[in-house]
Amino acid sequence: MIRPLPSHGLLDRVLRVLFPGVMILLLNGCSSLSYYSQLASGQLQLLRAREPVAKVIADPARDAKLRTHLAQSQKARAFASEHLHLPDNQSYRLYADIGRPFVVWNVFATPEFSLSPQNHCFPIAGCVAYRGYYSQSAARGEAAIQRLQGMDVSIGGVEAYSTLGWFNDPILNSMMGWGDERLTTLIFHELAHQRFYVKDDTEFNESFATFVEQEGTRQWRAFRGLPPENDSKLKQRDQFIQLILDTRSRLEKLYAQPLATAQMRERKAAEFERFRQDYRAMRDGQWAGDKRYDAWVNAPLNNARLLPFGLYAQWVPAFAALFGQVGGDWLRFYAEVERLGELPVTERKAALKALVDSKV
């Protein structure tokens, strides 16, 4: 059932007015004022563009395809709270057309011989491994500056993000391009961030949300009587991610060696070429020539392009193992996730590694 939205909430309205000034006061002196000003103005634009999903669905003058997608999204939104025990609030019961294909563009940067991301810290979200821009041109400008400083850089468009419950996050037009199931997975992923979030641990947060997205989608399909996702495609995805993670591991060992710069660059290039060769062998053999990942593989590779895979996939097997240990009980699972999140970072990573090893 789609619930009517008489307002977006009193607190939300107050924060919507105060947010730009609050952000500037909190962050003035931390870094470039212009950067944080664009964050504040971009978020404010998004908040102003929101309208109730129910209103859009009920308006015959609106695009029929949009209305159909939004109607389906609300079934998934209800499933998220009723069956996955994700937050039951007004997030994703609102819609906003921001007039661009991505809500933000994230800039990832690493040193030339390191897989450690350049972190950026914020009062609410803590430290994250990227810097977000509401303008693609601004992201490209930042990337150019980082490259001039000798960094490996990558830019990625983002369809959605979570404000961690500070605002009622809307469904965005940028979330609509890949069909109903992709929209559903984004809703599950972003609500998972609202459900639990650990400051300063991007790998933990993104891996947790990715697991909730994947398991939630599996259960959503079963709930609707649909067959599981194509096992061969899921296997290909997992194999591709593992190739990247294996490449990351080899690079980490390489960068720990005391090599001269020229030799390090040569060995680094050789590792990326090995990755391409391993991919093509898998594609042409096990995958019967399926070229779905060719464009990504054939584009220029660097450390920064590997970062999202380490962030979003590193601990997914650990959370899968934990979910199995609690018998697929979502509430028990979240309780255990919270327990892990409260551990000191070194103990947390050790516990996650033990969970991964328990599946081997």
Residue 178's DSSP bridge partners are none
pLDDT reported for residue 285 = 96
Residue 113's pLDDT is 98
pLDDT tens, residue by residue, 67-101: 999 999 999 999 999 999 999 999 999 999 999 99
Cβ–Cβ < 8 Å for 326, 332? yes
- The C-alpha R_g of the chain, in whole angstroms, comes to 21
What is the model's pLDDT at position 120? 85
pLDDT interval class at 1 (50, 70, 90): very low
Distance from C-alpha of 191 to C-alpha of 161, rounded to nearest angstrom: 10
Sheet of 131-133: strands edge to edge? 131-133, 104-110, 152-158
Tens-digit pLDDT profile for residues 108-119 = 999 999 999 998
What pLDDT is stored for residue 186 in this prediction? Answer: 95
40 contacts 33 by C-beta, under 8 angstroms: no
Which ranges of the chain does DSSP label H, i.e. alpha helix?
10-27, 33-48, 53-58, 64-82, 136-148, 180-195, 202-223, 231-255, 261-284, 294-298, 303-313, 316-325, 330-341, 345-359
358: tokens are: 């328990």
Closest CA to 242 of 110, 114, 358, 356: 356
126 bridge partner residues: 122
Indicate the pLDDT class of residue 15, thresholds 50, 70 and 90: very low
Q: What is the pTM of this model?
A: 0.84
Task: Give exposure, 260-283, as e/b (b: 16+ Cβ within 10 Å).
Answer: eeeebeebbeeebeebeeebeebb
Nearest to 167 by CA among 23, 273, 71: 23
Closest CA to 214 of 322, 320, 308, 78: 320
- What digits encode the pLDDT tens for the residues 183-205? 999 999 999 999 999 988 989 99
Pairing of strands 50-52, 120-122: unpaired
pLDDT tens digits, 282-330 = 999 999 999 999 999 999 999 999 998 877 888 999 999 999 999 999 9
12 pLDDT more than 70 = no
pLDDT reported for residue 340: 98
Q: What is the pLDDT of residue 23?
A: 44
Residue at 21: amino acid letter:
G
User: What band does 123 get if pLDDT is binned at 50, 70 and 90?
Assistant: low
Can you list the pairs that 290-299 forms with residues at least 24 positions away whose Cβ atoms lie under 8 Å? 290/236, 292/236, 293/236, 293/240
What is the C-alpha separation between 39 and 20, in angstroms, rounded?
A: 8
Model confidence over 211-224: pLDDT tens digits? 999 999 999 999 99
DSSP for residue 27: H
**Is the four-CA dihedral 50, 82, 73, 333 of positive or negative sign?**
positive
DSSP SS3 for 98: coil
14, pLDDT greater than 80: no
Task: Give the total residue count for the chain.
Answer: 360
* pLDDT for residue 360: 61
Higher pLDDT, 158 or 23: 158
